[in-house]
Amino acid sequence: MNSFVLALALCLQDPAASPALETKSVIALKSEFQFYFRGANISEKSFIDGARKAIDSSDNLTKVQKFRLKRKLHRPRFVRMAMDQYKQDVFGKDPSKSVSDIDWNNVDWDKLLSLLLTLLKMFA
């Protein structure tokens, strides 16, 4: 009975209907998916992108540490605290400087990864 209904449905389809939507490969979908939290600004997005690249390319981190750091980058509080902590390390307590003044493409990521590991221990 099910096959009859399926055959009938196929016969009744409109031959002039639009072609089926092209499906994207899983790799293309994964590369388009960004790992930002809701409400992230441009500075936070560039920080997350750079941190993810640094985590992936680091040889000093274990797989568990890489996994935990990537998961913590989804948390706005963790990201903002890491950015503020790095700002304090770079600029000190200068009130005229803000986190948006930092060019996140030209950052010492080894130093920042050690800071992230310290914050990870604090939040764990």
Task: Give the pLDDT band (50/70/90) at residue 55.
Answer: very high
- Cα torsion through 28, 103, 118, 96, rounded to 10: -140
Six-digit token string for 83? 């950015």
pLDDT at position 63 is 92
- Greatest CA separation found in the chain? 76
Residue 81 has pLDDT above 70, yes or no: yes
Q: How confident is the model at residue 64 (pLDDT cuts 50, 70, 90)?
A: very high
pTM of the model: 0.66
Nearest to 110 by CA among 69, 68, 60: 60
